Amino acid sequence: MKTSKLLLSLGAGLLASGALYAALRPQPAPLPTVSSVDLARYAGTWHEIASFPQRFQRGCQCTTAQYTLKEGYVEVRNTCRKNGKRTGITGKAFAVEGSHNAKLKVQFFWPLRGDYWILGLASDYSHALVGTPDRKSLWILARATTLPAPIYRQLVQQAQQLGFDTALLQKTDQSCKEEQ
């Protein structure tokens, strides 16, 4: 009987400690996005210049995202060359109400939706910085397969200032572009 009370007390103490830690641990600052996005201008092909590595992208080269406006959502077609073959997945992106299209919820597998926040966007829509509010995903995208070094450095610096661990950023091999 004493053992069960001890285990129960220990379990309750651990639960309370965990709740206290979760409540008191430092939370990242709110992540600002661009003020608004014209989805008609954002539509089209984007090349991944760099990103935080994702399990599902292991071995990918020449990664692209194709955005197509549909009625009520944006169709998202992500593709890459893996093991010499083109592979991809199609999903849907939905604008978050009140975000002026700067925050999207992307869905590749129903009912799961992930955050896609546009954190930086060139005025001519030639490059973008995209991430998630937990700062675990980050992408640098461009309309071309390359990005001038000063612009790339500026985007990396912006991501760092927003609290992203830019040491995790890996450049994407876009050298097979001419084979597509």
Cβ contacts of 59 within 8 Å, gap of 6 or more: 82, 83
Predicted pLDDT of residue 1: 52
Fill in the amino acid letter for 99: S
Return the pLDDT at 112: 79
CA dist., res. 170 & res. 7, Å (int): 47
pLDDT score, position 17 = 41
Distance CA 118, CA 130 (A): 5
Residue 62: CB partners within 8 Å, gap ≥ 6? 47, 80, 81, 145, 172, 173, 174, 175, 176, 177, 179, 180
For Cα atoms 61, 67, 69, give the angle at the middle one, nearest 5 degrees.
Answer: 170
Other beta carbons within 10 Å of 147:
22
What is residue 20's predicted lDDT score, i.e. its pLDDT?
A: 38
Question: How far apart, in whole angstroms, are the C-alpha atoms of residue 133 and residue 127?
Answer: 20
Sign for the pseudo-dihedral over CA of 144, 76, 171, 130: positive
Q: Using only C-alpha atoms, what is the Rg of the chain?
A: 20
Cα distance between residue 168 and residue 127, in whole Å? 20
Please tell me the predicted confidence (pLDDT) of residue 26.
54
Tens of pLDDT, residue by residue, the chain (180 residues): 554 444 344 444 444 444 434 444 455 678 999 999 999 999 999 999 999 988 777 888 999 999 999 999 999 999 999 888 999 999 999 999 999 999 999 999 888 788 999 999 999 999 999 999 999 999 999 999 999 999 999 999 999 999 999 999 999 999 884 544
pLDDT of residue 144: 96
Q: What is the pLDDT of residue 2?
A: 55
pLDDT at 18: 42
What Cα–Cα distance (Å) separates residue 56 from each residue in 51, 80, 86, 89, 90? 13, 11, 14, 11, 14
Domains and CATH numbers, the chain: 39-170 (2.40.128.20)
